[in-house]
Structure 1
Amino acid sequence: MAAENNGGEIKLTVGEEKVTTADVTKGEELDLQHRDPEHLHDHVKIQFHDVFGEPDETVFSFDFIWKLAFKLFTNVKLWCYRITSLICGLPLAICWGIYFALLSFCAIWCCEPYMKAYAIELGCIRRLFNTCLNAFCRPCFEVMGYCFYNIRIQKA
């Protein structure tokens, strides 16, 4: 196994197979302006006016307090998020990457084969159940259908 870094792209050789980071991301580029294209987090888009509002024109704070509160809220929210993501973002990205890799592994190598085997095993029971339904229930329902077949309801 060998690795080399050429211009920001990491090349990894395992045996005879050569893999680069571009192969993994398939050339997908990040949009740094629109970071939530799937709208996963619309419920946490909180602005100052979503939290604070003075209900009446007769009861309100000084304008400079209101403006300062707006600036403080907005900047503290931004910088707390940035500092927290700086400290925790990369370790959590690694943890979630491992988690989803293991989840994918389990779905591909454990769950799906198990469900396929389970469906095969239940095939015998399904045939037996269908045979019983066709032998006992279907004739009864067909007779009921023939009994009510010619009933017509008309509005007067």
Structure 2
Amino acid sequence: MAANADIHLTVGEERVTTGDVTKGEAIDLKARDPEQLHENMKVQFHDIFGEPDETVFSFDFVWTWAFKLFTNTKLWCYRITSLICGLPLAIYWGIHFALLSFCAIWCCEPYLKAYAIELHCVRRVFQTMLNAFYRPCFEAMGYIFYNIRVQVTKQ
């Protein structure tokens, strides 16, 4: 093999590069929850605060400023937190789900298949014993109780 030869890796008959792993999938910057995963987290000012009686309510400037402060504080706290933690957590969860996929594909499924093959013989022996010893007894009991009829009459 030549020293400057390129190594070509393929996955599913497709050449693999380290470039665009999204395969051109577009991301919608407006609708960021297309699967509706977080419907329960849509919290607005009016979902939390409400003055129920026209005779008991705050000054207009208090209500207006409370709305603005709540909305902006919620928005900027989320943005700053996601700026600080978002990318490291995206890396963490990417690694986590990659390892889960690896374990499911390369460990769990082969183990479960081997276990099913190994237990197939035990299942056949157990099924044969049940058919030989227990099934005739239960069939006989079924025939005994088959003709019993219960009638309820009112007097």
TM-score range, shorter chain: 0.7 to 0.9
Instruction: Please name the residue that 1:79 is paired with.
Output: 76
- Secondary structure of the residue aligned to 1:128 is helix
The CA RMSD measured in Å over matched residues stands at 2.2
Instruction: Please name the residue that 2:40 is paired with.
Output: 43
Correspondence 1:102 to 2:99: yes
Query: Unmatched 5+ residue regions in structure 2?
Result: 1-5, 10-14
Report matched runs for 1:133-148 at 5 Å. 133-148=130-145
What is the Cα deviation at residue 148 of structure 1? 3.3
What is the Cα deviation at residue 70 of structure 1? 0.9
What is the Cα deviation at residue 97 of structure 1? 0.6
Correspondence 1:29 to 2:26: yes
1:55 to 52, 55, 71: 52
What amino acid does structure 1 have at the position aligned with 2:97? F
Query: Unmatched 5+ residue regions in structure 1?
Result: 1-13
- Secondary structure of the residue aligned to 1:122 is helix
1:117 to 108, 114, 117: 114
**CA 1:35/1:155 → structure 2, altered by over 3 Å: closer, same or farther?**
farther
- Secondary structure of the residue aligned to 2:54 is coil
> Aligned residues: percent identity?
75
What amino acid does structure 2 have at the position aligned with 1:83? I
CA-to-aligned-CA distance 1:55-82 (integer Å, 9 cap, x gap): 3333221122111111111111111111
What is the Cα deviation at residue 114 of structure 1? 1.1
- Secondary structure of the residue aligned to 2:16 is strand
Range with bigger deviation, 122-131 or 87-96: 122-131
Correspondence 1:92 to 2:89: yes
What amino acid does structure 2 have at the position aligned with 1:138? R
| TM-score for the superposition, normalised by structure 2 | 0.79
Range with bigger deviation, 48-57 or 144-153: 144-153
Stretches (4+) displaced over 6 A? none
What is the Cα deviation at residue 131 of structure 1? 1.6
- Secondary structure of the residue aligned to 1:138 is helix
> Using the alignment, how far apart are the partners of 2:27 and 2:150 within structure 1?
64
CA-to-aligned-CA distance 1:32-53 (integer Å, 9 cap, x gap): 2221121211121111122222
> Using the alignment, how far apart are the partners of 1:29 and 1:69 within structure 2?
38
